[in-house]
């Protein structure tokens, strides 16, 4: 139990029509009780904490039906074993549906067995199990987004910026010298984003030269460290930084700040996610582009699906691919349209 970070958020929502004046009376209105268990791979992850925040907000906002909702959120802090134990606890606590953001997306079997043995429907999100595991039971779902699309969009946004500003090719050799900062190895979003961003730049006629890259596990501090090393190695040669998410793009900017580079000597940086810090950086011009990972859309889909599974109603308003997967589209964000995304 030690060291386990448990954040228990119990939300009791009595969602009744105003004229019924609350759920206290209880006799004339039947409330459906719904206990949702949420298991996160790591709540210090910026995108995940924002997405789970949206999920809770959507639940609050879902008034109109007579539902009493309780949410219990658990943080595995990067350990699959911890997460397996947390799922056991959530089931013992009486959860009627589970939303699981796997630590190791290739290792969901224990969780699937637990859910199936107790007949608790299972919604995976953000970290996609492999196709075979998605077929292990008919009450398994996945909600996320298409990694390839985000890579293509990052490449498009970067290509446009490079074409629009000849000075980004600092040494005027007709090529763009770049480095990449990658998410966790094995994550469905890491390699695919990089490959598609690079291919799209090339398809758009941008000649590229890769100087180096590093894995920074989606993490801003790790990205800063790796970037400081690369700046040491390549000095002023780096013209473009492609990061698999906003936090790593911001970590790369932190590195230049830490080394006291003047802004005019910075390369251009591109991220993915559109987290609040990412959007602020687009607004202030330090980040040149990002790709919006629709956390509100994913959260809303998860609320709808969870409710429908508990209440055994029809899965309306949800579009499934590969039978049990929901993918929300990404969109491109630059200084031109960032205001549409800012709260």
If one counts every other C-beta atom within 10 angstroms of the C-beta of residue 181, the result is: 30
> Does the protein bind ligand BGC through residue 272 (CB under 6 A)?
yes
Q: How far apart are CA 274 and CA 48, in angstroms?
A: 12
- For the bound state, the minimum distance from the C-beta of residue 99 to ligand BGC, rounded and expressed in Å, comes to 14
Report helix, strand or coil for 181.
strand
Nearer to Ca ion, 144 or 267 (CB): 267
d(CA 82, CA 217): 19
Residues 143-202 that bind ligand BGC (CB under 6 A): 187, 189
Site string for ligand BGC, 235-254 (x = CB under 6 A): ----------x---------
Give the one residue of 50, 182, 273, 294 binding ligand BGC; rule: CB under 6 A.
273
Least distance (Å) between residue 143 CB and ligand BGC:
12
d(CA 322, CA 279): 32
Under the binding rule (CB under 5 A), the answer on residue 173 touching Ca ion is: yes
Cα separation, 20 vs 27, in Å, equals 12
CB closer to ligand BGC out of 156 and 239: 156
Minimum distance from CB of 337 to ligand BGC (Å)?
Answer: 19
Contact 335, 281 (CB under 8 A): no
Say which entry of ligand BGC, Ca ion, none residue 171 contacts (CB below 5 to 8 A, set by partner kind): Ca ion
> Does 75 engage in binding with ligand BGC (CB under 6 A)?
no
Q: Does 171 bind Ca ion (CB under 5 A)?
A: yes
- Find the shortest distance in angstroms from Cβ 260 to ligand BGC: 28
Q: Which does 273 bind (CB under 5 to 8 A by kind): ligand BGC, Ca ion, none?
A: ligand BGC
Q: How far is residue 125 CA from its own chain's centroid? A: 9
Q: Which does 45 bind (CB under 5 to 8 A by kind): ligand BGC, Ca ion, none?
A: ligand BGC
Output the CA–CA distances (angstroms, integers) from residue 246 to 44, 71, 150, in the order listed. 14, 28, 12
Q: Measured from the CB of residue 48, what is the shortest distance to ligand BGC in angstroms?
A: 6
Asked whether position 55 contacts ligand BGC by CB under 6 A, the answer is no
Query: Does 207 participate in binding Ca ion (rule CB under 5 A)?
Result: no
- Contacted by 169, from Ca ion, ligand BGC, none: CB < 5 to 8 Å by type: Ca ion
CA distances from 153 to 16, 150, 235, 272 (A): 42, 5, 28, 9
Question: What character string, x for contact with ligand BGC (CB under 6 A) and - otherwise, covers 12-51?
Answer: ---------------------------------x-xx---
CA dist 85 → 81, 98, 118 (Å): 6, 13, 15
For residue 34, give every residue at least 6 positions away whose Cβ sits within 8 Å of its Cβ, in sequence order, or none.
67, 68, 69, 70, 96, 97, 306, 307, 310, 311
Residue given tokens 């490449």 in the structure block: 155
Structure tokens at 138: 């008919």
Using CB under 6 A as the binding criterion, the count of chain residues that bind ligand BGC stands at 12
Query: Which of the listed partners (ligand BGC, Ca ion, none) does 180 bind, with a CB threshold of 5 to 8 Å by partner kind?
Result: none
What's the distance, Cα to Cα, between the start and end of the chain in Å? 38
Site string for ligand BGC, 102-131 (x = CB under 6 A): ------------------------xx----
Establish if 237 lies at the interface with Ca ion (CB under 5 A).
Answer: no
Helices marked H in the chain: 46-61, 80-92, 109-117, 131-134, 147-164, 190-203, 220-234, 246-258, 276-283, 295-311
Binding site for Ca ion (CB under 5 A): 169, 171, 173, 175
Binding site for ligand BGC (CB under 6 A): 45, 47-48, 126-127, 187, 189, 218, 245, 272-273, 293
């Amino acid at each position: 139990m030690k060291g386990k970070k448990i954040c228990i958020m119990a939300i009791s929502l009595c969602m009744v029509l105003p004229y019924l004046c609350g759920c206290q009376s209880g006799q004339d209105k039947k409330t459906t009780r719904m206990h949702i268990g949420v298991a996160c791979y790591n709540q210090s992850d910026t995108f995940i904490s924002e997405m789970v925040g949206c999920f809770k907000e959507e639940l609050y906002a879902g008034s109109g039906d007579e539902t009493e909702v309780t949410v219990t959120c658990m943080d595995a802090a990067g350990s699959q074993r911890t997460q397996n134990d947390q799922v056991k606890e959530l089931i013992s606590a009486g959860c009627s549906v589970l939303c699981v953001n796997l630590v190791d997306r290739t290792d969901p079997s224990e969780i699937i067995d637990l859910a199936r043995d107790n007949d608790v429907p299972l919604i995976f999100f953000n970290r996609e199990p492999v196709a075979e595991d998605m077929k292990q039971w008919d009450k398994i779902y996945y909600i996320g987004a298409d990694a390839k699309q985000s890579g293509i969009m990052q490449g498009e946004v970067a290509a446009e910026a490079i074409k629009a500003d000849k000075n980004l090719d600092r040494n005027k050799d007709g090529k763009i010298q770049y480095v990449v900062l990658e998410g966790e190895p094995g994550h469905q979003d890491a390699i695919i984003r990089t490959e598609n961003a690079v291919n799209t730049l090339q398809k758009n006629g941008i000649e590229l030269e890769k100087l180096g890259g590093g894995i920074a596990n989606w993490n801003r501090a790790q990205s800063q460290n790796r970037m400081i090393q690369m700046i040491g190695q390549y000095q002023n040669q780096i013209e473009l930084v492609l990061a698999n998410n906003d936090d790593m793009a911001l970590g790369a900017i932190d590195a230049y700040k830490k080394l006291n580079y003047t802004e005019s000597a910075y390369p251009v940086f591109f991220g993915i996610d559109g987290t609040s810090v990412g959007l602020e950086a687009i607004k202030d011009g330090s980040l040149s582009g990002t790709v919006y990972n629709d956390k509100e859309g994913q959260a809303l889909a998860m609320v709808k699906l969870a409710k429908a599974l508990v209440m055994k109603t029809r899965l309306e308003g949800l579009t499934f691919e590969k039978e049990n997967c929901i993918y929300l589209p990404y969109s491109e964000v630059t200084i031109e349209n960032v205001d549409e995304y800012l709260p």
